[in-house]
Amino acid sequence: MTEGDRSGGDPPDPFDTAELRAAVLASWRGSPTRFREDANAEEDLRLGGYRDRLLVELAQNASDAARTAGVPGRLSVRLVDGELRVANTGRPLDATGVAGLTALRASPKRAEPSVGRFGVGFAAVLAVTDAPRLATAEGGVAFSAARTRDEVAALAESSEETPAAVRELAARGGEVPVLRLVWPTDERPPEGFDTEVRLPLREDVDPGGLLAYMAEQVVDLLLALPSLCEVTIGDRHYSSAGSTDDRMVIRTPDTTRTWLTERATGEWPESTLTGVGVEQRSHARWWLCWAVELDGDGAVLPPSTDVLHAPTPTEERLSLPARLLAGVPVEPDRRRVSDSPATAVVLDQAAHTYPELLSRLDPLERTALVPEPGFPLSDTDERLREAVVQRLRESAWLGAADGSTVAPRRATVLDHFSSELVELLGEVVPGLLRAELSEPAHASALRAVGVHRMGVAELVEVVSGLDRPAEWWHRLYDALLPVERTDRTAREELTALPVPLADGRTVTGVRDLLLPGDGAEEAVAELAELDVTGLRIAAAEAVHPLLERLGARWAGASDLLDAPALVEAVHNSVADARAGADPMRLAEPVLRLVGEAGSRDWLGALALPDADGEVRRADELLLPEAALLEVLDPRAVGPDAPLRTVAGSVLERCSPERLRAVGVLDSFAVLVEEEPDTPHEGIADAEVWWREQERLRGEEWPPSRFVGVRDLDLVAEDVWPEALRLLTANPETARAMREPGGYTPWWIARFAVLEGRSPRQWRTPDAERLAGLYDPVPDVGVDRETLRLAGVRTELTVTDTADAADLVARLADPERGVRAGLTMAAHRALAEAVACERVDSGEIDPPRAVRSVSSAVISADRAVVLDEPWLLGVFEPALVVAGGNSYEFDAEALAELLDLPLASEQGVVEILGQGVTQAWRDVARVPAACELLGAAVPYGEVELRDGLRVRTSEGEHRVHWWVDDGGAVYSERSPDGLARALAWTMDRWQDRFTLAALLADPDATTLLR
């Protein structure tokens, strides 16, 4: 029955509401402040803790009623004739409940577990109505602001003075505490429900908006209130169906939503209830539930932001990716968590339980529930998140590669990953996580819980020292190849990877690693058995492109042969063989490689047995049929000699061609050394040649390359013609003989023997211009070109001190008929050799006799060296040693070599008589002669004489021209004198004869015809 039906008679009052009203009215009448206290308390609830909580509070009551009755909780919300009607199943309202509704903070739920507290949640209805009613099967009750105001006004009629409640009512503008006075009604709930709350909506409430707002809260309520199974809002139906211990399925009109849950409960220790009110302490058990929503594939749908639910929403904001519903002590307004030890117990238990929630998820979904680093949203959030993260670090919930679960603090994740790489390292790295967890999507979560990340450098360190088959390493390289391709910084770290070798060892690092290629398989197998120190040939089963990208080289026969370790092994092979090693174990694979890759200079050091079974270097051995044997001194071949023939057993196993390739001699061998800095050891007279060339070449020494024929000193003296033919028949030795300034032509020219003399003491028969100084070489059966290469002279040159000493001696030999021109040419060559420092004059004994310009051999103590051309006019030609004039040779150098004085140093010269001084341009015929010669007329002057005479200590002499100590030029008036003075002045001494002809012809142009 509604308020409008009261005129039809009073309804039954099964809940004794009259007594309840009387008690309240008596308290208002008897206490001057009670009405005000009740009004303020209700106002605080309506405006404070219970604002915007209408559906939440009614749903809590419905949940408690269903749980108490042990029936499925159902809640129906509908609009009927301007009223909001909320019906529920479960224990109906009784007298105690009615009393609780009218009593502030005195709930009938005190002695039993419930969601609601103190019975004050019903105050939330005041947000939409001033006259709420409740209907049950036994009857109903009603509250009304209007009827309450009437009752307060009636208090004045029954009292002699105005009660305080009346005065307070006036002061409050007619506002009264609605829920303190209750009246009976005879209304009943709809069929199928046990209780219905009926709320006539105030005019300022939007009914449609209210239903829509409530609909938004239903899913959260079903999740928070497990006793509530169904909720209907208008025509929209919601239910929790198919739920299990760890799953809750909520069906809405639009979709089905699944929530993963983890629940826990327990009793509070008595010591933790300090600071908790008496009402709260009556609830001895705590409870909690973690919940996270899943999509249709079971993936986590974490909320962006959330609050702590106790179990309905509080204002404690949380940033965890899962929802926490917990029975924590809250402040009276149910908005904030109580700061008490009891709260700490629940939050600690929530953190302890959190990993169990993760363990119910697929391993790849678990990281979605790791709290992200960031600023906390509240004090509760900070405390809870720190505890959760710490617990996650210690609990085993991460999926490991071996199928187990591992705690983050014991886990390792790869920076670079693949399924293959994780599979390979799963048995090597304890706690290695499965490959999918290395993906970027999991990185932040794993970092938050402190999972160790393994980079390339550490990965390489971990696998170092492992004993695994070559196939395992090949798989590892295959898994790491994408890493090298995508992360260029990883290349340097990957170069330290272990590599299994063909000899069974596993070495660290790719440096100097050789990958066996085509044509080298047999040699690799043989070398692997030798355990050559430093020879790093990868096992064939481990060969992979990654190794090549990291610096390993494909090892064909040529690469293997040039491997530094094999080169060193060859160099040490003689010492190793003499220490007991079988030389053929190394020689055979080396010879096999040589057959594919060709010869190398250093292969001569390879140890091979000789005919007597002794070990020798290959380049100290001869083939039995070697052509070189025909020209060697017999003493050069034998047990104690420099050379020996190779063992026949070697020839049976290796071809002569391969033996020649490793240095076994068939003919003369050529030694080659790149960038030498010292004379080549073991080659005859190399130091002498080196010092001589060093003196001659200066800064251009040492050479960039040394090439020399060896064993020349072992040739028998009487077979040098045959040796020369053998040398020129081989292109390599022939090239060595043609090298300018090279060791080979140098040595042969000095130490070879042709008819008892060295080659440079002979001349070729066609070099007739050298006749007299050198004799023609006898016919030794060698062609002219070979003779020339051997050092037989074809022209006059002075190459060294010994050569100069020999030429000086030949010039002083009176038995030799030497032409005057050849004598002067010889003196020029000697002077040039001294001036160019090819010859050290201090190493040559001064001769007792010299040959003059007249080709006469005279005593050295009578001769002078002509150093100025005009001086020839005052000395006897038979006493003058000359090589031309001062422009063509260094007279001082020749004087130093022969230990003779210079002509200019022999006494004072006086120029006699007087002449006429003229500029050269004014001298007749000089300008025309210069023009015809194509030269400019020189500056300066000349003093002309009809007859030019000079006086020395020996007397007066008539000369054609002269230059005094001051540089003044003198000439007699003759074409010859003028020509010589003009040529000297113009520095064109070679043109003196042409000038003489031009100056002598009155019509010089005739010379052009």
Among 227-231, 260-264, 328-332, 953-957, the minimum mean pLDDT is found in 328-332
pLDDT (tens digit, 9 = 90+) per residue, 356-404? 999 999 999 999 999 988 888 998 989 999 999 999 999 999 999 988 9
pLDDT at 229: 92
pLDDT (tens digit, 9 = 90+) per residue, 126-170? 989 999 999 998 899 999 999 999 988 888 777 666 678 788 888
pLDDT (tens digit, 9 = 90+) per residue, 842-885? 999 999 999 998 889 999 999 999 988 888 888 888 899 987 65
pLDDT at 104: 61
Band of pLDDT at residue 242, cut at 50, 70 and 90: low
pLDDT at 49: 55
pLDDT at 270: 67
Q: What is the mean pLDDT of residues 671-695?
A: 90
| CB 510 within 8 Å of CB 550 | yes
Residue bearing the bigger pLDDT, 535 or 629: 629
Query: How is residue 659 written in tokens?
Result: 């033996």
| CB 976 within 8 Å of CB 996 | yes
pLDDT at 105: 47
Residue 550 has pLDDT above 80, yes or no: yes
Give the DSSP letter string of 329-344: -B-TTSSSB--SHHHH
- Confirm whether pTM is higher than 0.75: no
Q: What is the mean pLDDT of residues 544-565?
A: 86
What is the spatial distance between Cα 662 and Cα 623, in angstroms, rounded to a whole number? 12
Q: What is the mean pLDDT of residues 618-635?
A: 94
pLDDT (tens digit, 9 = 90+) per residue, 406-427? 999 999 999 877 889 998 998 8
Residue 919 has pLDDT above 60, yes or no: yes
Amino acid at 991: D
Count of CB atoms situated within 10 Å of the CB of 837: 12
Band of pLDDT at residue 1, cut at 50, 70 and 90: very low
Q: What is the mean pLDDT of residues 651-677?
A: 92
Residue 39 has pLDDT above 90, yes or no: no
Closest listed residue to residue 209, CA positions, set 54, 47, 334, 315: 54
Phi, psi of 997 (to 5 degrees): -65, -40
What is the spatial distance between Cα 840 and Cα 835, in angstroms, rounded to a whole number? 9
pLDDT (tens digit, 9 = 90+) per residue, 444-454? 999 999 999 99
pLDDT (tens digit, 9 = 90+) per residue, 654-664? 999 999 999 99
Three-state SS for 617? strand
Q: What is the mean pLDDT of residues 738-759?
A: 94
Band of pLDDT at residue 243, cut at 50, 70 and 90: low
CA angle 478-482-483, nearest 5°? 105
